[in-house]
Structure 1
Amino acid sequence: MKKIRKIMVASFLILVVAASCTGSFDEINTDPDAYTSVPYTNILANVIRRSADQFSDLDIAQWAGYVSEVQYLNDYAGYIPTNNTYGNRWSHCYWGHVQLQDILNRTADAEEASKNMRNVSILLQNYLMFYNVNAFGDMPYFQAFKGSPEDGSILQTPYDKQSDIYPQLLANLKVVADSWSTGLGQDDLGAGDFLFNGDVSLWQKFCNSLRLRIAMRISAVYPASQSIVEEIFNNPGKYPYITESDDNAYFWWQGSGDYYERWYNNFLSRDDDGMADIFIDHLKMMNDPRLSVYAKPARTDGAYRGYENGAANDPVDRHAISRIGAKFREDPAGFTPFYRACENYFIMAEAALNGWNVPMTAAEAYEKAVRLSMEDNEITEAAADAYLSDAGKWDGTYARLYFEEWVALFKQNVEAWSLYRRTGYPTYIHTAKAADGTSPKYPGARSSFNGIHNDVPFRFPYPDNQYQYNKEYVEAAAANIKDHVWGEQLWWDTRTGVH
């Protein structure tokens, strides 16, 4: 199945180019073989592929506490905000939304006949907007796709509050979930479905899983999250969600040319990133069998060793620092994860710990989540058993739950960064001095930007082009933001003592 998807990626991306590019407008009008409109499945293919590209986020792996720079220390290591890649991600979310809206506009008169394609398009639109609001905070949303180029309203759009955007995303996704709950459509998504190879039932599971992710993300500030989580977990017949590793939402790269897996692209030409000390030390302390999958032994002595994230200088011997494991960085046809089954069981465990009505106890859901993560990383059942009966044993605490979720989210770096911003775990990222004034083992996130910040960035910096073309609105939205990425925390980030 994976090989089929990889072949499809290459062939369909060629078709996307063929369908959407031409050197002459006259040729469009006169060539009977030329496309006059892009097939829906090609648009879908391009949005999925470009999302996998933009959201691979090796840089944010540092903010999530997974990796650390070991040479050419740059903006990411010192947490100096730049517009280098963040603006591309912002623009991709809006670009992708517009591409998918083209599908919706063209199928408006055939809603039932195009039920699956329309639902997938709406799902992905909300996936993109969730990514954007989760990374940037307040943003143009309700009026962002209205107006016309002639009056300039597309470029000059008010920013909406996160407290208004998140509930709307949940409402939009529930419309899709309810539509599919009455029966899947009959239309074929085509070969451009690079996530699930045309299996609409998996898109249905992805939709409800995304609802769970969003609801738990904002649960500290949005009481309705509880009813949403309970509704989904207690009605799997109506609202199925991803439960097994075989159903994970992975984008598999084709593995050649311009379509190498993005961390492999980095591996081919750079050696800037080693493993973070906090991640390696945690895995070693826990005797976690995933250590040898996530990381490679140091070249100098075969030991597993990380490096301080945010350090001012390169390590004395960069070859004494572990690198990212081959499974994640050295496979040209590797994967970009959009969603893993284990995440849903971590959400269920947290819900149970909160006292919410869900089908499993916190202990049962936690163990299921850990076993799925072990399976994702090809760890034997015996090794998983040993881990869960020893250091990984459930102890009834949020700390145990959040640390384990952090480990399992490796390579889903924005999600892990969000877990930290929401919960404060892993606590290693921001470590204060002990009560007796002694220094902690880890210095905590230190920024060389003005030397006043003690935490990783709270958000992405707003893109430069917003300050050029939407200056009034972006400056109002950024009024309480300090140094581009600190100051006011996101709506759902309720931590204290970070700045």
Structure 2
Amino acid sequence: MNSVLKKLSIPASAIILLLSSCTKNFDEINTDPDALNNVPPGNMLINVLRNTGESFGGDVDGYGTFGGYIVKIQYMDKLDGLIPTNNTYGNRWYACYYNNTQLNDLLEKTDAQVEGYKNIRMIARIWQNYMWSYLTDGWRDVPYTEALQGMPDKGSLLKAKYDKQEDIYPAVLKSLKELADEMATGHGTDEVGDFDIIYKGNMLSWQKFCNSLRLRMAMRISGVSPALAKSTIEEITGNKAKYPILETNEENCDINYPGALPYFEPWYNSGIYSKRIDNWGMFDIFIDYMKSVNDPRIAAVAQKNNTGEYVGFKNGLTSGPPVLRSVSWIGNHYINDPAGSTPFYKSCETYYTLAEAAMLGYNVGISAKDAYEKAVKLSMEDNEVAQTDITAYLAAGGKWNNTKERIWWDMWVALFKENFEAWSLYRRTGIPTTNYASLNSIYKETHDEQPYRLPYPNNEYLYNKVNVEAAAKEVADHAWGKKMWWDTRPVKIPHPGE
């Protein structure tokens, strides 16, 4: 992939000088004696999973703001992270392609016919598909069919074409179904163990994550590809013995950190350990909504301010509050545990999805009301809410009212810390309807809603210019213009107060 393999622009005279300086021992001189020539598959897997957690687990602002959760209250800036750069969202683009390149290498170094590699290969393939889903949900059209071919033995394809999101989604869902069918016939005999820092080699859990990821992706395209969405979801729920799904908090797909240097949970590391917790406050729309429905999860997601109240702050003002503690900070449950976790899929999401599917008339084997209440209970329990408070919430502010909006509002709260997913929920549904972009954005005169997409990184414009410019033809100001394929909202979401 062109973003992974960066070209160097060297004058011809310099090339001649370099060639004249070459020796017959070039390969020997340029070999690191301490580097492994052939990295074991287990080491490659743990490196990719660790890199995913570190690359995507620290989204305090950025996606936290896009999703309507967290805002800056110190060191305010006007750019709001929207100018393409490899130092911001470009790093996430790079991480996705790096991870999939490493997993490709793992798959090439193992043999699909050898029983001793069956499990690790299944995990690698599932995670590759997760990376593809992340890429296309962040940037829409991305290099897919021609990606990962920037090596000499791959034909040195350094300028990969961009595939359309409407082609990528069915392809990823097809790949996940093939994996789900394979896993339904049995797992391998290889012990992945501690090389798997998510499920410790528990292949049933990976099987459940594979099918749950299918549910997520199918529901996301339900408004633009209803036949594929319906058939995928009904296939899974119609045969849960063959296609098991994540249904308990113990099965959540997340990475738990050792809790000691250098492996602190990313939010703890950037907040508590680095003594920068006062950089962020809670988004006013998030606090205001939770207070309006008396949501007991507020005690987990936020801290009370210096007067004992939950108070949010506006997104993107030119300066922070005079007293930093007058605003609620991120809750200790989420930021004050060095051995905390980075979530990729919370099991409550399964039931929010089934509740919406039931509302759409899909045959999922559970009513919308029962699925919704199950989702709420799972989320509440994950936030250590007492049963009496769960019961009270379901009888009052969170009571089922037979609308998709009730599902989406509660799901928004439940996805806290899965900020990228919350941003996707907003882009698909328009919930929270109160969301708004930075009040200090340099684009606020033309775009008063959260970004539709992430900016293509600078390296793409440097090294894959023709292809990226074709893909970005309908993109406006890096992050607006052409929306996600599955984003069927009206072009403009009303700004609060309008």
TM-score (norm 1): 0.88
CA contact (8 A) 2:358 2:368 kept: yes
SS of the aligned residue for 2:365 comes to coil
2:456 pairs with 1:462: yes
Question: Take 2:405 and 2:157, find their aligned partners in 1: how far apart are those partners?
Answer: 45
- Does the CA-based 8 Å contact 1:80-1:448 persist in structure 2? no
How far apart, in 2, do the equivalents of 1:174 and 1:310 lie? 42
The residue type equivalent to 1:287 in the other structure is N
Aligned-pair CA distance for 1:39? 1.4
Percent identity among equivalent residues?
A: 46
- Residue matched to 1:250: 254
Distance 2:142 2:78 in 1: 24
The one of 290, 294, 303 equivalent to 2:301 is 294
Counterpart residue identity of residue 60, structure 2: L
Does 2:283 correspond to 1:276?
Answer: yes
Distance in 2, Cα, partners of 1:27 & 1:447: 50
Contact kept in structure 1, 2:129 and 2:175, CA below 8 Å: yes
Alignment partners' CA distance in 2, 1:445 and 1:164: 36
Distance 1:102 1:392 in 2: 48
User: Which runs of 5 or more structure 1 residues have no equivalent in the other structure?
Assistant: 1-21, 29-33, 431-442
Query: Aligned residue for 2:146?
Result: 143
Could you tell me which residue of structure 2 aligns to residue 53 of structure 1?
54
2:489 — aligned with what? Answer: 495
Counterpart pick for 1:209 among 212, 215, 227: 212
Secondary structure in structure 2 of the residue aligned to 1:228: helix
CA contact (8 A) 2:149 2:155 kept: no
Per the TM alignment, residue 258 of structure 1 is displaced from its structure 2 partner at its CA by 2.3
Shift of 1:149: 4.3
Kept after mapping to 1: 8 A contact 2:317/2:439: no
TM-superposed CA distance for 1:144, in Å, is: 1.0
- For 1:449, the aligned partner's letter is Y
1:93-108 aligned within 5 A: 93-108=96-111
Structure 2 partner of 1:437: none
1:80 and 1:140, CA in 2 relative to 1: closer, same or farther beyond 3 A?
A: closer
- Distance across 2 between alignment mates of 1:345 and 1:498: 30
**Which residue in 1 is equivalent to 2:8?**
none
Q: Is the contact between residue 428 and residue 489 of structure 2 (CA under 8 Å) also seen in structure 1?
A: yes
The C-alpha deviation readout for 1:477-497, integer Å capped at 9, x for no partner, is: 001001001111111111113
C-alpha distance in structure 1 between counterparts of 2:154 and 2:358, whole Å = 51
Q: CA deviation at 1:74?
A: 2.4
Within 1, Cα distance between the matches of 2:95 and 2:135?
A: 9
State the secondary structure of the residue aligned to 1:114.
Answer: helix
Residue equivalent to 2:165: 162
User: Distance in 1 between the 2:474 and 2:234 partners?
Assistant: 35
Where 2:193 maps in the other structure, the secondary structure is: coil
- Check conservation: 1:79, 1:457, Cα contact below 8 A: no
Question: In structure 1, the residue corresponding to 2:160 is in which secondary structure?
Answer: coil
Residue 448 of structure 1: how far off its partner (Å): 2.8
The equivalent residue for 1:483 is 477
Correspondence for 1:172: 175
Distance apart, 1:217 and its partner CA: 1.1
Evaluate the alpha carbon distance shift between residue 152 and residue 176 of structure 1 in structure 2; reply closer, same or farther with a 3 A threshold.
Answer: closer
SS, match of residue 65 in structure 2: helix
> CA RMSD of the aligned region, Å?
2.0
The alpha-carbon distance between structure 1 residues 124 and 455, as it changes in their structure 2 partners (threshold 3 A), is: same
User: Does structure 2 conserve the Cα–Cα contact (< 8 Å) formed by 1:446 and 1:454?
Assistant: no
* Equivalent residue in structure 1 for 2:373, among 367, 383, 394: 367
- C-alpha distance in 1 between matches for 2:135 and 2:409: 25
**Structure 2 unaligned spans of 5+:** 1-27, 494-498
The answer on 1:260 being equivalent to 2:264 is: yes
Asked if structure 2 preserves the Cα contact closer than 8 Å seen for 1:75 and 1:82, the reply is no
Superposition deviation, residue 415 in structure 1? 0.2
Q: Which amino acid aligns with 1:165?
A: I
The aligned residue for residue 285 of structure 1 is 292
Cα–Cα, structure 1 residues 445 and 63, in superposed 2: closer, same or farther, change >3 Å?
farther
User: In 1, distance between residues paired with 2:402 and 2:465?
Assistant: 49
**Stretch deviating more after TM superposition (206-215 or 309-318):** 309-318
Shift of 1:155: 2.4
Deviation by residue 1:359-404 (Cα, 9 ceiling, x = unmatched): 1100000000000001101111111111101111100011111000
What is the aligned partner in structure 2 of residue 358 from structure 1?
Answer: 364
Instruction: Give 1:153 deviation, angstroms.
Output: 4.5
Q: Distance in 1 between matches of 2:335 and 2:106?
A: 35
How far apart in 1 are the matches of 2:153 and 2:391? 64
SS of residue paired to 2:342: strand
The answer to whether the 8 Å contact 1:79/1:447 transfers is: no
**What is the 5 A alignment of 1:335-484?**
335-430=341-436, 447-449=441-443, 451-484=445-478
Distance 1:154 1:425 in 2: 41
SS in 2 for 1:455: coil
Q: What does residue 188 of structure 1 align with?
A: 191
Distance 1:308 1:35 in 2: 50
**Superposition deviation, residue 202 in structure 1:** 0.4
Number of residue pairs matched by the alignment: 459
Distance (whole Å) between structure 2 residues aligned to residue 128 and residue 157 of structure 1:
17
- Distance in 1 separating the partners of 2:375 and 2:114: 37
Q: Which amino acid in the other structure matches residue 426 of structure 1?
A: P
Match of 2:135 in 1: 132
Conserved 8 A contact 1:159-1:477: yes
The residue type paired with residue 83 of structure 2 is P
Quick one: structure 1 residues 401 and 201, their matched pair in 2 at CA, closer, same or farther if it must change by over 3 Å?
same
Deviations 1:90-127 (A, max 9, x none): 11111111111112112235344422111111101111
> What are the residue-to-residue correspondences of 1:210-225 with 2, within 5 Å?
210-223=213-226, 224-225=228-229
- Greater shift, 105-114 or 138-147, is seen at 105-114
1:41 is the counterpart of 2:42: yes
Q: Tell me the secondary structure at the aligned position of residue 281 of structure 2.
A: strand
Residues of 2 paired with 1:286 and 1:109: CA distance?
52
Is the alpha carbon distance of 1:170 and 1:446 closer, same or farther for their aligned partners in structure 2, counting shifts above 3 Å? farther
* 3-state SS, counterpart of residue 419 of structure 1: helix
1:239-278 deviation per Cα after TM superposition (whole angstroms, max 9, x unaligned)? 0010011111120112222211111122123221100111
- 2: CA distance between counterparts of 1:394 and 1:305? 27
**Within 1, Cα distance between the matches of 2:313 and 2:444?**
23
Counterpart of 2:199 in 1: which secondary structure?
coil
Change (3 A) 1:25 1:190: farther
How many angstroms apart in 2 are the aligned matches of 1:445 and 1:133? 27
Q: In structure 2, what is the Cα distance between the partners aligned to 1:212 and 1:411?
A: 20
Cα distance in 2 for partners of 1:113, 1:52 equals 27
User: Is the 2:438–2:444 Cα contact (8 Å) retained in structure 1?
Assistant: no
Question: Contact 1:424–1:495 at 8 Å: present in 2 too?
Answer: yes
